[in-house]
Amino acid sequence: MVSILTFIVMIVVGAVVLGFIAVSAMFLIWWERKVAAHIQTRYGPMRVGWHGALQSVADVIKLLLKENITPEGVDKPVWWLAPFFAVVPSVMVFVCIPFGNLFGIDLIPRDLNIGILYIIALTSVCVLGIFMAGWGSNNKYSLLGGMRSAAQIVSYEVPLIISVVTAAMFAGTLSMQKIVEAQKGMWFVFQPNMALAFLIFVISATAEINRTPFDIPEAESELVAGFHTEYSGMKFAMFFLGEYTNLFIVSALAATLFLGGWQGPFLPPVLWFLIKTYGVITVLMWVRWTLPRVRVDQLMGFAWKVLTPIAFANLAVAGWVLLR
């Protein structure tokens, strides 16, 4: 009896999470286009719905109806599976994202005691999907994009994890929920070396999710569209979904680890969580529509020669602060 109930709850929670991911991605696509439009002094989508609010719905319908082209000479299994590898790990991450609580129920599918470790492990798997797409496409642009992506994510994973470890050290736990609770008195970001960790986290996260100025796997001016050049219709939409889900995830992590998560006065915790997350997202969008792209060697140099040493030094200082 209990197991059936658990099963039903799992299904419902799963459906809610998937629904949230889809709606969030659609909202983010619209939001990105609006932010871009205002930064670029133009209108952006205006026709479908209020200020183009239904534009994403129209886009989804269009993508569903589009022909699914498979180019000649692709490595079929790799080519077909790539979009799923790009999306599934991102969806799995939602297991331990703490959205706060509503009517006394904690809005987190499962608060794993190794939550942040689990998330980091899964987000690294996303690169596999991108690399598979690059390899399987039988296209030189795609291959370059895939290779770049692999190199980039391996490099930026190091400073990213070090900055996450700094937060985990301050909280004394790996559980996402407990990390949020540890920030009850003061958000981590207001402590000097945690502020630095936050900065390192945001920079490496931008690289991890392939956004400008680190969008070199896509690099539309050099590689046309990089790893997803050959994808069309729903398979392309899957990459897009993965991209915007990842954007949400890294911003949610930034909010959870450094900005006090769902905690805040007056408003319900869920709202606080969403405000912080979408705030970080908006900043990332602002950066995207402002900066040019770095070159691939500059990107690697920045990761290994600048970010990683700073992150390690910061970690050492954090350890000293805690042991003092």
Partner 1 sequence: MGPQHPSTHGVLYLEVRLSGETVVDLITHIGYLHRGMEKIAENRTYTQFIPYTDRLDYVASMTNNLGYVLAVEKLMKAEIPERAKYIRVIVAELQRIASHLVGITTFTQDLGAFATPLFYGFREREKILDLFDELCGNRLTYDYMRIGGVQFDLPKGAGGKIRGIVKYMGPKIDDLENLFSSNAIFVARTKGVGVLTKEKALNYSVTGPNLRASGVKWDLRKDEPYLCYDRFNFDIPTGSNGDSWDRYKVRIEEMRQSLRIIEQALDGLPEGDPTVKIGRVIKPAPGEVYMRTEAPRGELGFYIVSDGSAVPYRMKIRSPSFSNLAVLSELVKGAKVADVVCVLGSLDIVVGDTDR
Binding site for partner 1 (CB under 8 A): 36, 39-42, 144, 148, 212-213, 215-216, 219-224, 288-298
Nearest approach in angstroms of CB 38 to partner 1 is 11
Question: Is residue 285 within 8 Å of 32, Cβ to Cβ?
Answer: yes
Q: Which residue, 113 or 298, is less far from partner 1 as judged by CB?
A: 298
How near is the Cβ of 285 to partner 1 at its closest, in Å?
11
- Nearest of 169, 318, 180 to residue 253 by alpha carbon: 180
Beta carbon nearer to partner 1, 88 or 225:
225
Between 180 and 200, CB nearer to partner 1: 200
Residue 254, both tokens: 């930034």
Alpha-carbon Rg of the chain, whole angstroms? 20
* Residue 217 Cβ vs partner 1, minimum distance, rounded to whole Å: 12
Quote the least distance from Cβ 39 to partner 1, whole Å.
6
Q: Smallest gap, in angstroms, from Cβ of residue 147 to partner 1?
A: 8
Q: Closer CB to partner 1, residue 30 or residue 188?
A: 30
Rounded least distance, CB 98 to partner 1, Å = 33
DSSP 304: I
130: how many CB neighbours lie within 10 A of its CB?
30
Tell me whether residue 235 or residue 288 sits nearer to partner 1 (CB atom). 288
Whose Cβ is closer to partner 1: residue 211's or residue 276's? 211
Residues 6+ apart with CB under 8 A from 279: 255
* Burial bucket for residue 159 (CB in 10 Å: 0-12, 13-18, 19+): buried
Q: How far is the CB of 218 from partner 1 (least distance, A)?
A: 10
64: number of CA atoms within 13 Å, CB side? 6
CA nearest neighbour of 145 among 131, 155, 159, 157: 131
Q: What angle do CA 9, 13, 15 make, to 5 degrees?
A: 120
Give the three-class secondary structure for 105. strand
Nearer to partner 1 (CB atom), residue 42 or residue 184: 42
CA distance 178 to 159: 23
CB 171, min distance to partner 1, A: 33
CA distances from 309 to 147, 152, 167, 169, 315 (A): 24, 17, 17, 18, 10
Pick 279 or 301: Cβ nearer partner 1: 301
